[in-house]
Structure 1
Amino acid sequence: MLQVNLEEAKGRLPELVNAVLKGETVLIVKDLQAIVQLVPVISSMRRQFGSAKELIVMADNFDAPLPDFNPYMP
C-alpha cells in the first residue's frame, strides 16, 4: 500500500495512476488521515439480451386501474 500526502499527490498523479493500474493500493492522506483511495474503474461488461429472463415477474393485474383513482375514472 502506497500512502502519499495531498500536496505530494498533486505532483505525482500520473505516477500514482500507473501504480493503481498495476494493482497497487494508493491512499492520499491529509493531516495524517486517509481521505481518498485511488481505485481503477472496472470496465462494464456488455449487456446480454435475455439475461434477466424469468427473474422479473409482472402481476396479472398490472394494467388494472388502481382503487385510489376511481373518483377520476369516467
Structure 2
Amino acid sequence: MQSEIAREILAYLRSTHRLPGARLRITTLDERFGTDPAVAAAVSELARTGYVATPDAGTVELTPRGYEALLSNKF
C-alpha cells in the first residue's frame, strides 16, 4: 500500500504524463505538492516499488510497472 502522497503523485502522473518513460521534474512536484520532506519520501517509496525510476536527482520517470498500475488503478 502506497502512502497518500505517493498515490497523489501517481494520480498526477496519470493526469499529465500518460506514457511509460514519461519524465517529470522534481521542481514540478515541488510546485504541485510543496517542498515537504514527505514528497521526497514518497518519491523514494515509488522508486522502491518500481513505479518510477530516478535517472538523476532532479527527475522522476514513469516505469512500465508504474504505467500498468495507473491503467489498472492498482496503486
Computing the radius of gyration over CA atoms, which structure comes out larger, 1 or 2?
1
TM-score, length basis structure 2: 0.25
Alignment TM-score, normalising by the size of structure 1: 0.26
More strand by share: 1
Higher helix share: 2
